Amino acid sequence: MKKLIVKLAVILFILLLVSIAFSCAAPVPETVVFPDENLEAVIRDALDKPEGDITPAELAEPTMLSARYQGITDLSGIEYCTNLTWLELSRNQIRDVSPLASLTNLTMLQLNSMGFPNQIDDISPLSSLTNLTYLSLRSNEISDISPLASLTNLQWVSLYNNQVSDISPLVENSGLGEGDRVLLEVNNLDLSEGSEDLENIRILEERGVRVDY
């Protein structure tokens, strides 16, 4: 009898933990609100839905989205576009890329600035995007590229014109190899003979990576 009571108590305790976990999970909204009207306009165009509520199910439909030169400052809401594989967000006014962390189907992502005021300095939210093969972060304010170490499917990455001074995460990225390309021009690298940066560049080159520096 005691054993039965103990088993029932354990089962009840497990059910209680599961219930608490579900109650603490962020609920999926019935509709998605975009604080940035420019991003909303791009999304509505992609959905061919000029007005009316936008649901998470609808946002899961597009696989490609282009939003260059749109004056976007806030990416909130894009996290529901979970089936995107191709995303172009260059030449906007973006600083916070955390809403992109859930877009794990992405294989191509562009966040270039190139004369426009994207001011991205933290790319840690991108560490979950392990399906990326193409990543362009040209002309931002990035110094820490450690999140790139885990993106082992990368074949092409541009860090041109940032503030990078340590490229060891690229060496740690075991996926970078023969035929891949890395663009590192206009950064804070020490390219003097014997420097760690130059040594890391040569390690990448020995693995067959084309490095522009």
d(Cα 94, Cα 21) in Å, to the nearest integer?
33
* pLDDT value at residue 16: 53
Reported as a single tens digit per residue, the pLDDT across 64-84 is 999 999 999 999 999 999 999
Q: Any idea where the domains of the chain sit in the sequence?
A: 29-212
Domain covering 29-212: architecture: Alpha-Beta Horseshoe (3.80)
Reported as a single tens digit per residue, the pLDDT across 18-67 is 444 444 445 779 999 999 999 999 999 999 999 999 999 999 999 999 99
